[in-house]
Structure formats: structure tokens, C-alpha cells
Amino acid sequence: MSHSFWSELISIIPETMWVAFATLAFLTLRKPIIRRFLDRPRESMETTVGGGGGKGEIRRWDHAAESLRGGRILWVDDNPPGNSELIKLFRSAGMTVDTAPSTEDALAYVEQGGYDIILSDIKRNGDPQAGIKMLRELELHKIPTPVVIYAMSFNPELGVDRRIFGGTNDPRDVVHYVIDLMERARMSLG
């Protein structure tokens, strides 16, 4: 074998090694990369409620993905940044989430288009009963949209208004209520 043969062979080894390395890297990392892009809603669920959430909650989120897609939430709260993680979570599932800082704004939104769920706090703009007053306005305007109360000061032991589907101060419960309501809405359509 000639010296030129060995020189040429040695010169193509680095190129061949890079191709082999790239192929190995692709084969090794393709599933995690695909999961990274396809499982964004699931990943959001894990980071948003994962602090105390378990595998059952994540499985439920995965199972509910089709029911959530296209759903519409109106979130009534005078402090929307406090709900930003849950809002991102629901949007990552393909839901529309509009925010309203007051009952008046909420009623204007509801008149413009239908919502599947209204999420609300109780205390707004200095009024400790704003959320409850909103329930009376919804009844007055014959708006049947289910309401979920999410407020840090919510205490179900004090009683739950007949107009409230559910109330909580735990973000995991909010996720479950939204899934429950969206599954019911989808079942009633199908």
C-alpha cells in the first residue's frame, strides 16, 4: 500500500467521524427533541401545578387535551399577572383566555362572544364581594356560563353560592375544574 493511500485514508477519517457523531447524536436525541416540541402543554402542566401535582394529574391533562382545545375562558380578576402561569397553561392547550379586570368589563366580553367557563376572584378593586355581585349580574342577564372561583381567600366552609360550579384557592383544583367543565361541554355537543 502506498503512502498516498494512507494519507488519503487519514484525511477522510475526521469527516467520517463527524458524520458518525452527528448520526449517533440524532438517533440518541430525536425522541427527546420530538417530545420537547409536541408535549408543550404537558410540560406546562408539570411546571405550573407540578409542585404538588402527581402523575395522575399529568395523565388527566394528557387525556383532556382534545376537550380543552378550542375552549374559551373569561378570567375576571383585577390582578391578571397573578394568574399568568395558569393562563399560559390553558393557552398552551389551545384555549382562548380573555381577561377582564371588573364585572362591567366581563359582561361586555360575554355579550360579544360565548365562553365555556368564567374564572373569577372574589375581591376586586376594594370590593370584598365583587365576585359574588358578578354572579347576581350573570343571573340578571341570564348568562348560564359556569363560574369557577379562584381566590386566595376562598373558604368553602363558609358556604358556596348556588351559581358557583367550584371554588378553590389551589391552582391544581382550577385545572381540574376547567377539565371537568370542558369535558362536560364536549360530551353535551357530541
Quote the pTM value. Answer: 0.70
Q: How far apart are CA 113 and CA 106, in angstroms?
A: 11
Phi first, then psi, for residue 53 (nearest 5°) are: -75, 155
Give the three cell numbers for residue 144: 348560564
Residue 54 lies in a domain: yes
Looking at the predicted structure, is the pLDDT value of residue 162 above 70?
yes
Q: Is 121 helix (H, G, I), strand (E, B) or coil?
A: coil
Question: Three-state SS across 40-66?
Answer: HHHHHHHHHHCCCCCHHHHHHHHHHHH
d(CA 1, CA 5): 7
Residue 45 belongs to a domain: yes
Residues 6 or more apart whose Cβ sits within 8 Å of residue 85? 47, 48, 171
Q: If you average pLDDT over residues 1-18, what whole number do you get?
A: 70
- Please tell me the total count of domains within the chain: 1
pLDDT at 116 over 80: yes
pLDDT for position 43: 53
The answer to whether residue 17 is domain-embedded is no
Confirm whether 6 is domain-assigned. no
Residue 3 lies inside a defined structural domain of this protein: no
Determine the structural domain holding residue 120 and report its residue range. Answer: 40-189
C-alpha cell at 148: 369557577
Q: Report if residue 64 sits inside a domain.
A: yes
* Residue range 57-82, pLDDT digits in tens: 677 888 888 889 999 999 999 988 88
Task: For residue 7, tell me if it sits in a domain.
Answer: no
Q: Residue 169: which CATH number?
A: 3.40.50.2300
Chain-wide mean pLDDT for the chain?
80
- Over 80: is that where the pLDDT of 27 sits? no
Residue 96 has pLDDT above 90, yes or no: yes
Please report which confidence band the pLDDT of residue 178 belongs to, taking 50, 70 and 90 as the band edges: very high
Please indicate, yes or no, if residue 9 is contained in any of the structural domains: no
Give the strand order in the sheet containing 147-150.
96-100, 72-76, 117-120, 147-150, 164-168
Answer with the residue of higher pLDDT: 51 or 165. 165
